[in-house]
Amino acid sequence: MRPERLLLTCLLLTGCSDKLPNAVDLGPGANPGVTPEWDGGVAKSQKGNLRFKGPERLSLDLAQALELPSASVCNELGQYPCQNVHGVALGGVDPYEHSVYETPTATGATTPIAVERTVLSACNARITLDVKTPASAVVFKDVTLTADGRLADAASPAVATAVTSLVRRAWLRDPTQAERDTLVRLSADVQATGTATPGVAWMQAACLAVFSSAEAVFY
């Protein structure tokens, strides 16, 4: 996990009230949440005992959160499930073929790569469905793209609602205003890279940022 991502997530971790509103996607103005200070500004855990989800939970959570069939979350070469191919890298076991009987006590150097690979694949699957069949879109509902692939209006309620939806699906809470603004501003950064399809690229970046955050991959 890159330090900046961890820091961002630590900030994001601290922002929400226990009292949740009704379970519908919010518009841009609702529930601004708590804007954390640089260190979170909140009481800290004495244990710090977060646990990594590992291959099975990561895949199952992505499937549930992005409303994908489990088999569609991530496959290498289109046919080998990532949770098997990258099972040990993702903190799993491989008892029958390679005598890896216990999960490692720490994640390896390739774990973040395998996590991002899995998350990005799941995000792409969801985004493809949402963009190609907007009538049945799940996350990026009503997010309009221009003919040249840009977000028609990054400040639109639909974009804010999509961001809220992503956060709720990954973190099981509402985003703070700062979190939501950061993810919306990401669209400008993505567009500035000159990518050919900045709208879809923003969806990918936002989805990856949220679902590969510490708050999403640890529990």
Partner 1 sequence: MPLTPPSPSRWLLPGLLLLGFATPAVAMPTGPGAFCAEYPTAPACQGTQPACTYCHVAPPQRNGYGAALEPHLAPGKPRPLSEADFAAALPAALRAIATADTDGDGAPNQFEVEQGSLPGDATSVPPSGVCGGGENPQFKVCQYDVRFVYRRMLSDFCGRSPTYVQVATFLELGIEEKQRAFIDQELDRCLQSDFWRGKHGQLWKVAHPKIRPVGSIKSGEDAGVIPLADYYDDYALFAWSQTDDHDARDVLTARFFVKRSGTNPTTYTSANSVSSQFVEASRRAGNMTSAWTLTSFVMFTALPRNAASQMYRAYLGLDIAKQEGLHSIPNEPRDYDAKGVQAPQCAACHATLDPLSYPYRNYNGLGGLPNRYIPNRLELLFPNEVATLKNTPEQGVILGQPVNNLTEWAQVASNSDAFAISTVTDYWKLLVGHAPLPEENEEFVRTWQAFRTTHAYRVQKMLHDLIRTEAYGAP
Name the residues that contact partner 1, by CB under 8 A: 1, 13-20, 22-23, 34, 41-53, 56-57, 60-61, 64-65, 91, 93, 95-97, 99, 101-107, 111-112, 168-169, 172-173, 219
Q: What's the min distance (Å) between Cβ of 99 and partner 1?
A: 7
Residue among 182 and 195 whose Cβ is closer to partner 1: 182
**Measured distance CA(65)–CA(57) in Å, rounded:** 12
Q: What's the min distance (Å) between Cβ of 116 and partner 1?
A: 13
Residue among 8 and 154 whose Cβ is closer to partner 1: 8
Q: What's the min distance (Å) between Cβ of 194 and partner 1?
A: 33
Residue among 39 and 76 whose Cβ is closer to partner 1: 39
Q: What's the min distance (Å) between Cβ of 72 and partner 1?
A: 16
Answer for the pair 176, 33: CB distance below 8 angstroms, yes or no: yes
**Measured distance CA(219)–CA(143) in Å, rounded:** 31
**If you search the block for the tokens 């950061």, which residue do you land on?**
182
User: 198-211 vs 111-132: helix axis angle to the nearest 10?
Assistant: 130
* Closest listed residue to residue 68, CA positions, set 81, 53, 52: 81
Answer for the pair 83, 48: CB distance below 8 angstroms, yes or no: no
Residue among 150 and 173 whose Cβ is closer to partner 1: 173
